[in-house]
Structure 1
Amino acid sequence: MVQTWDERVAAVWADDSLTDDERIVLIDAIAAERAGDDPRALFERAGARDAAGLEREAESLYRAAIAAGLSGPELPQAVIQLASTLRNLGRVEEALDLLRPEYERGAAVELRDEVAAFYALTLVSAGQPDAAASVALAALAPHLTRYRRSVEAYARELTAPHDLPTANTSGSPEPRR
């Protein structure tokens, strides 16, 4: 059975027996089937290097993929991964500059919880733990079966301490914890 390009890429990523170097070689071989400036090929090559801890090599490939017109579900992945790479390289402000607009778009972002997770991590790296906790709690709140409004209020409180909630905001008896 002949596999598509995407299926072969996915198979490489799914193979946990591969070393980082083997994964890079295989991804590069599959990527070479496309033009050198193909955004998907650049993105996959970046990801292989990023996963291997080769952030400096990954950065330029992520940037090239985005500049070449990467689209679809890979675009938010590339933004998240590039921002994470920049954070790991100590370029926290650049990472925040990439993640902030994605986070602020909220529901319009396909991977909004993933964006929030990496935005929160980057805020911690930037020395803003209260803002990070607020982002994390705001992302978690919609998934809660109870205490959603309380958690949302606490998330807001962390970034606006002058606007403290004075009562349970849920409309039902929930102890504030």
Structure 2
Amino acid sequence: MVTEDWEARCAALWERLDEFGREEFVQAMRDLAAECDPGDPVALFEVGGALDSTGFTEDAVGYYRRAVEAGLSGVRRRRVSIQMASSLRETGRPEEALKVIEQERARGSAEHGSAAGDDSALGYDSALAMCEALTLAKLGRDREGLSVALIALAPHLLRYQRSTVNYARGLVGLDPV
């Protein structure tokens, strides 16, 4: 079962990622996850992330899928969609990645907060847009990808938000707002 102590140890392990070899880090995360139920969605997500972060991208996708099927929720649900879509894109399945992104976008904006306590909805919405932009580019749909990226960037600008959104919409033939 994931507890506050488990979360703290997981965060500490992530902070030490660069101190480990690839296989050693994955094993350390698997050992930590083994303290939870085998189908715990958070533990599955963290093992998937460890695999992904150490170059075992294909293996990560299976853990991400299992985490979603096990009911992963909150901000980690948004994160798993971003990470899984990125992994799918980079392993030659950009069409499947785009479906994951579209399904996640249909869920609405990310929830505020997480177990770690410092994640914002806007940041993960922007990260989802970044993943979508890269996936569209991988599919040869560069103008759409640029439009998505510019729309995601607009809220972070000090000025020109409306202009940026309208230019981005124009790239794909949409009317200004």
TM-score, L = length of structure 2: 0.85
- Deviation at residue 58 of structure 1 after TM alignment: 0.7
- Deviation at residue 19 of structure 1 after TM alignment: 2.1
Determine the structure 2 residue equivalent to 1:144. 157
Gaps of 5+ in 1: 170-177
Determine the structure 2 residue equivalent to 1:155. 168
Aligned pair partner of 1:81 in 68, 74, 83: 83
- Deviation at residue 52 of structure 1 after TM alignment: 1.1
In structure 2, relative to structure 1, the CA distance for the partners of 1:134 and 1:105 (3 Å cut) is farther
Q: Secondary structure at the match of 1:4?
A: helix
Count of paired positions: 161
Aligned pair partner of 1:23 in 22, 25, 44: 25
Determine the structure 1 residue equivalent to 2:11. 10
| C-alpha separation in 2, matches of 1:102 and 1:61 | 17
Q: For the aligned residues, what is the CA RMSD?
A: 1.7
Task: Note if contact 1:46-1:57 (Cα within 8 Å) is conserved in structure 2.
Answer: yes
| C-alpha separation in 2, matches of 1:145 and 1:31 | 42
| C-alpha separation in 1, matches of 2:107 and 2:27 | 36
| C-alpha separation in 1, matches of 2:149 and 2:42 | 30
Higher relative contact order (CA 8 A, sep 6+): 2
Determine the structure 1 residue equivalent to 2:142. 129
Q: Secondary structure at the match of 1:145?
A: coil
| C-alpha separation in 2, matches of 1:133 and 1:105 | 23
* Structure with the greater alpha carbon radius of gyration: 1
Gaps of 5+ in 2: 111-120
Determine the structure 2 residue equivalent to 1:67. 69
Determine the structure 2 residue equivalent to 1:47. 49
Letter in 1 for 2:134: L
| C-alpha separation in 2, matches of 1:155 and 1:95 | 22
Determine the structure 2 residue equivalent to 1:97. 99
- Deviation at residue 104 of structure 1 after TM alignment: 5.2
Q: Deviations over 1:88-135 (max 9, x none)?
A: 1100000000102333556x2332001001010101001100000000
In structure 2, relative to structure 1, the CA distance for the partners of 1:105 and 1:39 (3 Å cut) is closer
Q: Deviations over 1:148-168 (max 9, x none)?
A: 22111111001116x4x6xxx
Task: Note if contact 1:103-1:119 (Cα within 8 Å) is conserved in structure 2.
Answer: no
